[in-house]
A = this chain, B = another copy of it.
Amino acid sequence: MVENIKNIAVLTSGGDAPGMNAAIRAVVRACSFYKIQCTGVYRGYQGLIEADFEPLDARSVRNIINQGGTFLKSTRSKEFRTKEGRKLAFDNLKANNIDALIVIGGDGTFTGGQLFSKEFGFPTVGIPATIDNDINGTDFTLGYDTALNTVVEAIDKIRDTASSHNRLFLVEVMGRDAGDIALNSGIGAGAEEILIPEENLGVEKLLDSLRKSKKSGKTSSIIVVAEGEKSGKNIFELASFIEENMDEYEVRVSVLGHIQRGGSPSCFDRVLASKLGVGAVEALMAGKTEIMIGIHHQKVVNIELLKAIKGDAKVDKELRRVADITSV
């Protein structure tokens, strides 16, 4: 155990994700448990630069485990991308007797944290929180499970309308580079087809598939489309293309958008946040730095921040296979 960790700062950065509040709470409570001071930093890295700090104790985080978003707020800070900005941040941390930093966020958050930690030798640990589940070295990121539930509940509602009217719905879900949300929510929502960034089905094959399923007796269909899908058409163009080629369907588009980022976290995300928050404090106490606290095979693991960042999206082929079989 490292004796000189007496005050840990915690911030959230980048796009918010359900479970961020639960993670902050776990960090604060773990600090309280180990008699370490905890300092909340408002508005991510920008708050470091502006010394927007507030001491947090165990009671400061009551009744937030079930709240979406992040009460510490989050921004994207241009200033922190400059050496001068980061120097200011470091000076503020020192001036406030803060010994270590926990950053909660995704890829961009970790890139900033890793650079800062290396530059100033400041102990820094990351907690992966992004609905996209696109961080290396952790099986799950905070917010992902909640977002999947939000998406399937939304598509369940759309299905009511789709099956009442024998319609084809194209539903756009988040995922610029990773198809995890689309693939899992597509299976979970019983989608007919799922278009993901990692592969290009081709619009002709899509038509073939729709024709086949129409012939098999399907009267309505849902196609889940990830934002970053590679057909070369946006979702509205795709809808027109299908309508032109299959006049047996009325096609409708629904872009789920920002509702996917919010909402009360699922139990899974709350428990995961609790594990990761405790793990982050304990890692700092053990003298670790420049790592992310992840979950792998249900165990808390430490991954070098540099490795966590360099994600290369690859489709889960087994899941794709299950999708193809169950949409028969």
Q: Which residues of A contact B (CB under 8 A)?
A: 12, 16, 18, 20, 25-26, 29-30, 32-33, 58-59, 62-63, 65-70, 73-75, 139, 145, 148-154, 156-161, 163-166, 169, 184-185, 187-190, 216-218, 252-259, 261-264, 266-268, 270-271, 274-275, 277-278, 297-300, 318-319, 321-328
Pick from B29, B152, B160, B257: contact of A328, CB below 8 A. B29
Pick from B30, B58, B261: contact of A157, CB below 8 A. B261
Which residue from chain B places its CB closest to the CB of A276 in the assembled complex? B322
* Minimum distance in angstroms from A143 CB to a CB of chain B: 11
Copies of this protein in the complex = 4
Pick from B65, B266, B326: contact of A266, CB below 8 A. B266
Pick from B20, B156, B161, B298: contact of A261, CB below 8 A. B161
Decide: A325 and B75 in contact? CB cutoff 8 A: no
Given A165-B73, A190-B65, decide whether A325 and B29 contact each other with a Cβ distance below 8 A. yes
Decide: B190 and A326 in contact? CB cutoff 8 A: no
Q: How far is the CA of A271 from the CA of B152 in the complex (A)?
A: 11
Q: Which chain B residues border A157 with CB–CB below 8 Å?
A: 68, 150, 258-259, 261-263
Interface centre among A160, A256, A328 (most CB of B within 10 A): A160
Q: Which chain B residues border A218 with CB–CB below 8 Å?
A: 59, 62
Q: How far is the CA of A65 from the CA of B67 in the complex (A)?
A: 14
Q: List 27 A-B contacts (CB under 8 A).
A: A20-B164, A26-B326, A29-B325, A29-B326, A29-B327, A30-B326, A58-B328, A59-B217, A59-B218, A62-B163, A65-B189, A67-B160, A69-B160, A73-B165, A154-B259, A157-B258, A159-B262, A184-B267, A185-B267, A187-B270, A187-B271, A253-B257, A255-B255, A256-B259, A268-B268, A275-B322, A278-B322
